[in-house]
Amino acid sequence: MGDRLRIPSRRDLLGVALGAAASPLLGRLAGAEVDRDPPLLRNSRHQFTLLRGAKRVHDVELKDLNGRARRLSPVAGKVTLVNLWATWCEACRVELPIFERLQGTIGDRVTVTAVPTDTADRTKVRDFLESLNVRRLNVLLDPGRRLTSASADEAAPLTLYGMPITYLVDAGGATAGYIMGATDWASDDAQRLLAYYIAR
């Protein structure tokens, strides 16, 4: 009686099938640890999206709020956050003061450049920033539309997928990825993401 062949139940067969399906997933998760993928960053609606083989941000000529030419270039040893915003954008009103505080606390490792996409009118931009009590943030204007475009097929290095959108550029000038929507860059998840790219 003890040697009788046991017929597998439906539960046994289902367990085997689920185990086989889970194996590739577990393998990918294990591989992610080996590859050291960047930490996950999410806000209320979006998450940080990696870009592979994206256009590089280097030496794009912009204007400061005094009308002087400024080049958007990577800074050796620093991560650059390029925040694209608009004066009509309510979420931008939340995020720009966060960037102001961030630049004040970790400016030795991260540089922030905020670029309005809806206007190059210096007075309008100054008034908008003043209404938010944003005074120290590096804000550059793009009157020639050299930095942004509405489509990834166009020549400009950064694409406006939504508003606001922030691109992370590593110290070598490579655009690592982006996140849309207002994001708390002082959060633990954001700090882990920045630390990951600072250490690379």
Which pLDDT tens digit goes with each residue over 71-122? 888 788 889 999 999 999 999 999 999 999 998 888 788 999 999 999 999 9
The answer to whether the Cα torsion of 199, 171, 192, 53 is positive or negative is negative
The answer to whether position 154 is within a domain reads yes
The answer to whether position 86 is within a domain reads yes
Tally of domains in the chain? 1
| Amino acid at position 148, single letter | T
The answer to whether position 57 is within a domain reads yes
Percent share of the chain, pLDDT over 90? 54
| CATH classification at residue 141 | 3.40.30.10
Q: Quick one: DSSP state of residue 168?
A: E
The answer to whether position 106 is within a domain reads yes
The answer to whether position 5 is within a domain reads no
pLDDT at 12: 43
SS3 at position 81: strand
Determine which of 36-45, 54-63, 131-140, 186-195 has the lowest per-residue pLDDT on average.
54-63
Select the more confidently predicted residue: 24 or 174: 174
User: For the whole model, what pTM was predicted?
Assistant: 0.79
* CA pair distance 115, 89, nearest whole angstrom: 13
Query: Predicted confidence band at 55 (pLDDT cuts at 50, 70, 90)?
Result: low
For the chain, count helices (H), then strands (E): 4, 10
The answer to whether position 147 is within a domain reads yes
**CA nearest to 169, candidates 85, 104, 73:** 73
Range of the domain at 167: 49-198
The answer to whether position 11 is within a domain reads no
Determine which of 45-59, 118-132, 167-181 has the lowest per-residue pLDDT on average.
45-59
The answer to whether position 56 is within a domain reads yes
